[in-house]
Structure 1
Amino acid sequence: MATASRRALVHRGFEVLEARHALTFADLLSTLAEVRQSAYQTEDKSLFFTNQHKAAATGVNVGGEVVLYGLRPGLDANYAITVRAASGSGMDPAIALYDEAGLQVAVNDDVSPEDSSSRLVVSLLAGQRYCLAVTSYDTAVTGRYVLDVAAQIADDSRENNNTLRRATPLALSAGVQGVMADERDLYVVVLPGVGRLGANASVDFDNTLGDIDLTLLDRKGREIARSEGTTDREVVSLAGLPAGRYYIDVRGYGGAYNPAYTLTTDIQVGTMRAAAIAPDAWERNNTRATATNLGTVTATSVVTSLTLTRRDVDFYKFTIGQPGTTSSEVLAHFENGLGDIDLQLLDSAGRVLATSNGVANVERVSLAGRPAGTYYLKVYGYNGAANPSYSLRFNHGIVLDQPVSLPYQGAPIQPPPVVPPVGAAGAWTIAVYMTSTDLSSFAFADINEMEYAVSRFAPGAKIVVFWDQWSRGSYATGGGTQAAWGTAGRAVIAADTNANQIATTFDIVGERNTGDPAVLREFLTWTMTVAPASQYGVVMWDHGGGLSGVNFDDESGYDSITVKELQSAVAQSGMNPQVLAYDACLMGNVEQFYELRAVAPVQVASEEVIYGPGYNYRTSFSPLESAPASVTPQALARGIVSSFTAQYGTDGASTIAAVSSDRMEAVAGAVKSFVTASAGFSAAQIDRLKTVLGQVTRFEYPQYADLRQLMSRLAAANDLPQAARTAAAGVVTAIDAAVFAKMSDQRLTGGMSIYLPSKAAEEMADISLFSDWAAATGWNSLVNRVLGRSATVRLPVNPWLYAPRGGHA
């Protein structure tokens, strides 16, 4: 039957139902309220859209039933809604759609006289809530049905440009409008000469409508560079590339669709190197025989002011007096957009021991386990690329206070995927430790979201939860078979898509104090028994206070898990989590990241307050939807950051960052350098520091300041001593090396906060718990100088100081 207007009261084809004294669409569907108040049985379900702006479900209709599907599109578009009988089913579906006010938008029975399926094509608004009613035309003939909803995104006129042979030609300076509605869009550009500095291709889009990534390929389709952030822009550089044919590959992240993007090329070329790069002072070190001899590396050493000319190769010779430790390494720092650099480690005979050839702003080769002796480092440009500035950092032995001269903005090199051993029960298990308190309604919603997530996981991934329900806000579980219990329980989350009830059956263990580390330890041990995996992630879920801890159990005297308790609970459980994340406020302290650097190689936290709904668990662990065994800890953390950005990226104040724990030693070393360099500050210079402190972002607790902003401004303060400014710049460099994924916010925060009260009233005694940080950095001495005293004053500990999750200050 054809689509009718919202106000239509009579529809051909339903009079037969009236003759049987059954409820007709004319009676039933004029408003949603009438549906709910009718004699028909109603069942509420939810539809969730994929990143292709599609949703699907299957169901069974029984006589006298109307199934009501709630849906909320993310894109303004026309949507096709189709309901058809499943194979072998005799059901004749009939459907109607209601808007947010409960008024009928459209109704349909049959697509045509020959097709009894139901279909609507309607214009829906992004963010608006709609309800789709599905019932059977004939209550005597029921059965299974299939529901599909899809935005009608028309692809652009350049399709099908999905292969190298069909790639769309682009000029060196061009801008084209595109639509991402398939696997990929390929474009080709021909460089008649060498790409000059600044030559690039970029794509601009609305990330909330679908995340797009950009890859640069050579003439054979091999990757040269990649840009895969979570903002509204991706850029790849063609600087330094030789004349030839290159392909620009535009793809949706995870197959995402996007209705509009703009691809821009801004490429200048020359017959030779643009503004020819001058050789550095070490040339000619183009062979092992003429390698620059750096001598014996006994600590952290940095070589700066290096250049790489077109098709240049630089060799360096160095010696290590002791075998390499787990932290021994060589790094090359540079700006990839000015020319991609690769790195090789050679033995004394010239044999290649290791290669680093990523697409970020750093290359790294490890010296771990290498015997004492002489080695060579080979530095070269990918495809002969040039670069006007790079530096080398050798880490071996003790760490000295010497900053790297160039800022590092890229992600650390990822280790190869960890494949579970044969017979292992799983690849990834996510353990969520949940203290409901006054967030109980959000806990209920998040458990439902986890069930939805598990329904999409590939085999080998699980979520396990310890849920301390709130006695004043408890919920039934097990699909209603377990009455609301209000104490504590644990479970392996079951797959389910009904957002209105919790299908998972819990092992109810009675009241527990989730601020007791023994309870956390027991849960982690239990997790490894019921859901063993090659890799684990741990999520701490509740209120957070940063230095004062996390998981404040208000039914146990506001006891919380402090940093030392978290450290000991994980260690005693025997678990080695790969990712430690906080769905809690204010946990993104540099002190926290440093103290827990040995607990997990990757940590994820927010500097700011997190809104009440917290993580969107439907998408937070989306990397586990495909081949979990190949998902690295970094990829899982990026998934959390990407999901959080999609949920809160437009509010301007939310923050989240993922940090490599093995980079925190360097952050602490850089901070110590600044503390040392500022030890001789005069009273006027301390006042200058306090002025700068007042200019940087501070969070819900004003004693937490954004560390990167603070150090960046101090590095630019011309009235401070050069040594302090250089040390401050070193902190910025170290932070950028540690933070490998971050949400962009309007305040331009850097991913880590630091405790620095500007007055005595802002002091927290909890800083005393961070003894490793204090010993490594001497930061407390700077705090004392800012507060105008010579020694730390002991303060009473506030046992329940935390930020209420649910809104920003």
Structure 2
Amino acid sequence: MRTRPLALITALGLVTALAACSASPEDPAADASGSWTILTYSIADTNLEEYMMTDLEEIGDVGTQKGLNLVALVDRAADYTDEGVLGLDDWVGAKVLEIGQNSATVLDDKGDVNTGDPAVLADFVSYGIQNYPADHYALVVSDHGASWPGVGDDESSDGDSLTLAELGEGISDGLAAAGLAKLDLLGFDACLMATYEVASSLAPYADRMVASQELEPGHGWDYRAFDAVADDGSATVDELASSIIDGFEAQAKDEGDDAEITLAEIDLTQMGAVDAALKAFTDVLVDNAAGIGPTVGRSLAQTLGFGQSPDPDQDSFMTDLSIFTSQVGVDLLFAADAADDLTRAINDAVLDRVDGQATKGATGLSIYFPPSEPYFDEAYRELPNSGGWIDFLNTYYGKGGEIAQGPVIDQNATVEFGDDGVTITGFFDPDTAANLASAFIRYGTVEDDGSVTFLGEEDAFLGDDGSASGTYDLTHLSLSDGYDTMDAYLSLYGDYDTGIFTADVPLSYYSPDDAYGGDLLLSAVVDSATGDTISTTYYIYNEKTGTYGEFSPKPDWIIVPQVLSVMPDGTEQWYLTSDVGLYADVDSLVYDFPALASGTRLYLQLVVTDFGGNRASVAATVTVP
């Protein structure tokens, strides 16, 4: 389990500022101005269609005008909304539009196309550049994002998406056909795309990239930000990027979902330096492989993560690269110089960024790092290894596999009730304690058949004395629609310094006639000091892309909380808490944290994991006083 504390970005007393920095004076893109053509590749043949029609209306608020051309390929779905947009009636399939002032002109009716085909992207890029010549060009790709696996989910084409290789192919071929060397700006209005892998792979095709490390709210960007380059032709690419970031933040605040936002502008011309610095850093770690495992594991467990889920099969395993690097540099003196160089290179590449209360300190670029090899996706090996990251992961997982003895914990746990709830403490064999990387507790009620219905999990702490401990406050989450009330599973993680925590709640979604609609994740950001819920967002899991996207449940549909059941033989299974469920009118749902009733038989389990993924646990059954 990974936590989300705000990490210390300091190495050997050298503080590397992670605030936005300005482009270097040698960078020609920083000073260039003139006319613009902005191309939007809108993959709206998904459950985001309604949001993306609103995006088109925002583009229409700006509209094509002197010095600014706004062109979009819009592939619409058959199922999600039948509303027209910009004066056009609803349609199914793809159309290329010139977007005017609150209007649109159809340039090409393409019918049913596969937006996951790089040739379709290439054709749109070349068409837009050749037919709308300008001094500067931007391409924005909008849909579900999945970090290094790519972007898009064309539902009428069997959920086909654009991999990183296909994105590069589509953009490169389109630029070549139009006779253009590269774009000024490449944007992803999509989840999880601000990653090292994306930026490094696509650096040859654009000077700048704007993308998010975390899941994006469904409304995505505020496209009225394009107005920044519409005035007198004096705006630069960095001013356009900053306008997009500022507009995104302002709209998220207006919508009340700014607590978990991230968005950053990346100078792709600096990615060569980031590649080299990452290679030097990973080389140092690989060369000193024998001693890095426990420190790397603990650093990963303490680093801000993105696209997280209580179910590891649905976790993106993306971690903030600069925070992770800095923490390793603090604890491994032989890696301090290389860590500082990499942190500085990332800082130079990230020109502007925004974060939220639950993503405080996000530095602009994340990287794929599953905590142990069983969670590693072999498809990742198909990516370029320019920064040596795959070599490092191979070494790290190899050392984890060499651990001769997994954690050993004394089965006589100490349990104490106090003002904060109940605390369970366990002690480890000192010969295995050195390899420990993380700890968490989970808690549940004991059923008559001896099974345990787990109600939640949260962070525990590894002590310096060979102990680990975790505290549970003896409350549990319940959801009510005014008719029925049901228990729900709560995965809680956050920053103990700021008191801002994220609560993830797994749900299932059904139509009124009981047709399965998918797995949902309710993500709520909570201020532990005040008890206030800062934001609540619903995400739906896409099995094809392997990631979540924001979702608006239909009020007459049904959501059913999931809880984890563990049988006496140790078999674990997620199951639905009810055959009835709750109405998915999310604005009317009531969240409560009632205390467990006195006399409840409570099962507490303290789990520790070493950097090789080996686990040990100690448990106790107590009665709530």
TM-score (norm 2): 0.57
1:745 to 351, 356, 381: 356
Q: CA deviation at 1:473?
A: 2.9
Query: What is the identity, as a one-letter code, of the residue corresponding to 2:388?
Result: G
Q: Secondary structure at the match of 1:749?
A: coil
Task: Supply the AA of the counterpart residue of 2:387.
Answer: T
Alignment of 1:636 onto 2:261? no
| Residues 687 and 585 (structure 1), Cα distance of their counterparts in 2 relative to 1, 3 Å cut | same
Q: 2:183 aligns with which of 577, 587, 598?
A: 577
Partner of 2:193: 587
Partner of 1:509: 110
1:659 is aligned to 266
CA contact (8 A) 1:470 1:486 kept: yes
Deviation at 1:510, TM superposition (A): 0.5
SS at match of 2:328: helix
**Counterpart Cα distance in 1 of 2:236 and 2:300:** 37
Could you tell me which of 586, 598, 608 is aligned with 2:214? 608
Asked if 1:441 corresponds to 2:45, the answer is no
Shift of 1:477: 4.9
CA contact (8 A) 2:33 2:236 kept: no
Partner of 1:466: 73
Displacement of 1:751: 0.4
* 3-state SS, counterpart of residue 716 of structure 1: helix
Distance (whole Å) between structure 1 residues aligned to residue 323 and residue 400 of structure 2 = 26
After TM superposition, give the deviation of residue 651 of structure 1 in Å: 2.6
Q: What SS class does the counterpart of residue 712 from structure 1 fall into?
A: helix
Q: SS where residue 555 of structure 1 aligns?
A: helix
CA distance in 2, matches of 1:533, 1:682: 51
When residues 478 and 560 of structure 1 are mapped into structure 2, their CA distance, relative to the original with a 3 A threshold, is closer
Shift of 1:787: 2.2
Give SS of 1:564's match: helix
Decide whether the 8 Å contact of 2:143 with 2:189 is kept in 1. yes
Equivalent AA in structure 1 for residue 232 of structure 2: A
Task: Quote the Cα distance in structure 2 between the aligned partners of 1:703 and 1:429.
Answer: 36
State which of 379, 387, 391 in structure 2 corresponds to 1:781.
Answer: 391
Q: d(CA) in 1 for partners of 2:352 and 2:73?
A: 28
Whose helix fraction is larger, Structure 1's or Structure 2's?
2
Structure 2 residue aligned with 1:648: 252
Give the equivalent residue in structure 2 for 1:710.
324
Shift of 1:790: 9.5
> Does the CA-based 8 Å contact 1:543-1:805 persist in structure 2?
no
Determine helix, strand or coil for the equivalent of 1:668.
helix
Distance in 1, matches of 2:249 and 2:33, equals: 29
CA separation of 1:464/1:627 partners in 2, compared to 1, >3 Å: closer, same or farther? same
Partner Cα separation in structure 1 for residue 66 and residue 322 of structure 2: 40
Instruction: Measure, in 2, the Cα distance between the counterparts of 1:806 and 1:607.
Output: 18
Q: CA deviation at 1:785?
A: 2.7
- Return the alpha-carbon distance in structure 1 between the equivalents of residues 337 and 85 of structure 2: 59
Q: What per-residue deviation string (whole Å, max 9, x for no partner) do you get for residues 109-167 of structure 1?
A: xxxxxxxxxxxxxxxxxxxxxxxxxxxxxxxxxxxxxxxxxxxxxxxxxxxxxxxxxxx
> Higher relative contact order by CA 8 Å / sep ≥ 6: 1 or 2?
2
Deviations 1:577-614 (A, max 9, x none): 11000000000111110111111010111010001111
Aligned CA distance change for structure 1 residues 566 and 648 (closer, same or farther; 3 Å)? same
2:93 is aligned, of 474, 481, 487, to: 487
Q: Secondary structure at the match of 1:804?
A: strand
Give the secondary structure class of the aligned counterpart of 1:597. helix
1:683 to partner: Cα distance: 4.9
Structure with the greater alpha carbon radius of gyration = 1
The 8 Å contact of residues 77 and 92 in structure 2, kept in 1 or not, is answered as yes
What is the alpha-carbon distance in structure 1 between the residues aligned to residue 165 and residue 394 of structure 2? 24
The whole-number CA distance in structure 1 between the counterparts of 2:50 and 2:235 is: 31
Matched residue, 1:432: 40
**Unmatched 5+ residue regions in structure 2?**
1-11, 308-314, 402-542, 553-625
Determine if contact 2:42/2:75 at 8 Å carries over to the other structure: yes
Corresponding residue for residue 80 of structure 1: none
Q: Secondary structure at the match of 2:100?
A: coil
Post-superposition Cα deviations, 1:717-760, rounded to whole Å, max 9, x if no partner, equal 1xx2x231221111111111100101133321110001111123
Aligned to 2:275: 668
Question: What is the alpha-carbon distance in structure 1 between the residues aligned to residue 232 and residue 551 of structure 2?
Answer: 34
After superposition, residues 30-179 of structure 1 pair within 5 angstroms as none
Identity fraction in percent: 28
Correspondence for 1:41: none
Show the counterpart of 1:626.
231
Corresponding residue SS for 1:442: helix
Q: Following the alignment from structure 1 to structure 2, what is the Cα–Cα distance between the partners of residues 419 and 503? A: 26
> Residue 336 of structure 2: which of 725, 734, 754 is its match?
725
Q: 1:588 to 1:419 in 2, by over 3 A?
A: closer
Residues 754 and 518 of structure 1, relative CA distance in 2, 3 Å threshold = same
1:674-685 equivalences under 5 Å are 674-681=281-288, 683=290, 685=292
Q: Secondary structure at the match of 1:471?
A: coil
Residue 49 of structure 2 aligns to a residue whose secondary structure is helix
Q: CA distance change for structure 1 residues 724 and 770 in 2, over 3 Å: closer, same or farther?
A: same
Which string of whole-angstrom CA distances, capped at 9 and with x for unpartnered residues, describes residues 656-699 of structure 1?
10011111111111111111111243555311110110001111
Q: Is the 8 A contact 2:75 2:92 kept in 1?
A: yes
Q: Which residue of 791, 794, 800 corresponds with 2:545?
A: 800
Secondary structure of 2:206 counterpart: coil
Count residues in correspondence.
Answer: 377
Q: Residue 769 of structure 1: CA displacement?
A: 3.5
Q: Is the 8 A contact 1:549 1:561 kept in 2?
A: yes
C-alpha separation in 2, matches of 1:577 and 1:682: 40
Return closer, same or farther for 1:493/1:765 CA change in 2, 3 Å cut-off: farther
Distance 2:84 2:107 in 1: 7
Amino acid at match of 1:590: Y
